[in-house]
Structure formats: C-alpha cells, structure tokens
Amino acid sequence: MSETIQSKENRMKQALYDSWHRQVNYLRISVTDHCNLNCIYCSASTMLPLKHEDILSYEEIETLVRVAAEMGINKVRLTGGEPLMRPHFTTLVRMIAGIDGIDDISLTTNGILLSRYAEELKEAGLKRVNISLDTLKPDRFKRITGHDRLKDVLAGIESADRVGLKPIKINMVPLENINDDEVIDFARKTIDEGWNVRYIEFMPIGTPNGDISGMVTTGQIKERIQSLGELVSYTGLEGNGPARYYQFPGAKGTIGFITPITEHFCHTCNRLRVTSDGNLRPCLLAREEVNVKDALRSGAGKDELKEIIQKAVNIKRQQHNLDGRLAPDADDRPMCQIGG
C-alpha cells in the first residue's frame, strides 16, 4: 500500500467531536472584515475596519486548515466581510485546495466581483458559491446596500453558472417593509430560472440588545409563497448547512429555509468558525472564542494548534440561547468579522 493511501486512511480515521457528540468537520473562515457594500442590517458599515496586520495572513490560514484537516475537518467555506475584496484571494483558494483531506471549498459572496474572478476561482479549486441577494429591484438594491450594483451581482451569478461553481445558492434575508414583498419574486425564480433560493431569518448579530425587530419568520414566508403551489421536500442539494429544501412542482430550482430563530438546528451543528482577526468561534450566536492567532504567530507546533482547536470544539454550547426576541448571548462582534 502506497504511503499516500496509508496517510489518507489514517486521516479518514480522525474525527473531531464536541462535548455533545456532534462531529465537527466544517470550518467557516472570515478572510476579511472589509466589504464593498453597506447593507442596512449588516454591521460592517458601522465598524472601524481591522488593520491588515490584525487579520490572519494566507499562510496562517493555510497552517490552521492543514492542522484542522488532520483532525477531521474536510470542508471549508470562505466568507467575510466580502472575501473577493481581499487581494489575491484566488491564491488562498489554491493553497487550501492543495491541503490533503479538504474535499470541499465553497465561498459566500455578495457577487459583485464574481464575474471578474469566477473562472480563476474554479480553476484554483473552488467548488461552489453562495451569493447574497436581498432584492431584484435596482433602486431598492441601492437603498439596502448603499451601492447601485445589482447588475454586477446578476452578472456574477451568470458567471458562476457558466464556469460551473455549482450548486449556486442565492441567500435572501427578508425584512419587514424593506424587501419582504419580494419573497414571491425570488420563489418564482426557482421555477422560471432554476435558482436555488434560501430564505434566512434575520439574526441579532451586532444589534443593540439582540433586537430582531423586522425579522420575517419562515412561517410567514411559506404563507406568502404558497400561491405558487405545494412545496415538496427535496434532498438532492449538496451542502453542509442547516437549510431545509423544498421544490415547487415542475421547478428546476429549490427553495431553502434557514430558521435560526423559529426552529434552531443546533443539534446538527457541524461547524467551527474562524474570525478574521484569528479567533476560533464555536457558535455564531454565542460570544465564546479561543484565540489562535497568537499561537500561529509565535510558531506553535501542530500539537499545540490541535489542542487549541480541540479546546474551541469542546466549548461549543449544546444550543444557542436566543430566547424570543432577546439574545442574551449575542454580542457586539459584527457579522463581517465572525463570517456570515
């Protein structure tokens, strides 16, 4: 048996478990807190950006992923901030794609720069993209994001499709009296154009006192789109996430619901986050973090890094503590640093 096959087998025996017997195999990395949009509900716009020396370098991210892969992580999502804003981002994708044990690299992006980079990202080893889009109306896009760039996002979606960064998932956060009247337009896209649309409940991240006023529940969305037909459960969409998928009869695309507020999915949680400034964050909606940047910068060896990763996994809570409309455990850390 060749050494490569042997080492692959050894690696496959590795698995990372938290204290609640959940297997953690998925790393979500915020590669920058910078963003080229200022979405009204996202905290990026109100924060002072981190300095370049405060965020993890590509080499530090690579080291971390390499060690995590030895422990059983096999999927990586790159997010931010806007990941495509970070110079030479394709280089990072290539570095991660070269790590033994990582078999799925995906990207969450607002799509604005995607048509420029789609081809080289695919070639570098990126498998698929999630694209955030909250409205199909140009004037509203400008109002929500502060920029007149809807056309660029739509071009980004087309490019991703053309080069095969699939499945493409379109993430929409419906907000009361802002874009909730468009949930049906997005649903129609699953029928007419084969889009995979996911509605995400607004979460209290970086909002004062965990305020989620304006959040539209999945139940409300289902009511609004039911006139298009009966939703049938669908299981064929590749991914690592908590979405529940459905299809309208005859549709090529799918409808997904992500329900962190009305029906949390913590029992299925398989992820560990890396903040852009180098902390391991076991839960998006809880403030605990374990610093890994200092260890990476002081030349820590594999064993020390493994201990830090295991420590972060050990403190994953059984579930987040969101309670009705208050989030006692949410903190002021903005989404762009944690990685949305």
By the criterion CB under 6 A, which residues form the site for ligand SAM?
35, 41-42, 79-80, 82, 108-110, 132, 171, 173, 200, 202-203, 205, 335-336, 340
Q: How far is the CB of 17 from ligand SAM (least distance, A)?
A: 27
In whole angstroms, give the CA distance from residue 240 to residue 283. Answer: 15
Residue nearest to ligand SAM (CB): 340
Distance CA 39, CA 146 (A): 7
**Least separation in angstroms between CB 58 and ligand SAM:** 18
Give min distance, CB of 109 to ligand SAM, in A: 5
Give the shortest CB-300-to-ligand SAM separation in angstroms.
28
| CA nearest neighbour of 323 among 258, 261, 257, 259 | 261
Q: Compare residues 110 and 259 and give the one whose CB is closer to ligand SAM.
A: 110
Closest to 113 measured CA to CA, from 199, 197, 34: 34
What's the CA gap between 146 and 322, in Å, rounded?
Answer: 30
Q: Between residues 114 and 295, which has the closer beta carbon with respect to ligand SAM?
A: 114
In the chain, the N- to C-terminal Cα span, in Å, equals: 42
Q: Among residues 63 and 132, whose Cβ is nearest to ligand SAM?
A: 132
* Min separation Cβ 108 and ligand SAM, Å: 4
Question: Of 23 and 213, which has the nearer Cβ to ligand SAM?
Answer: 213
Nearer to ligand SAM, 101 or 340 (CB): 340
If the CB atoms of residues 172 and 231 are measured against ligand SAM, the closer one turns out to be 172
> Largest Cα–Cα distance in the chain?
62
**CB of 298 vs ligand SAM, minimal distance in Å:** 29
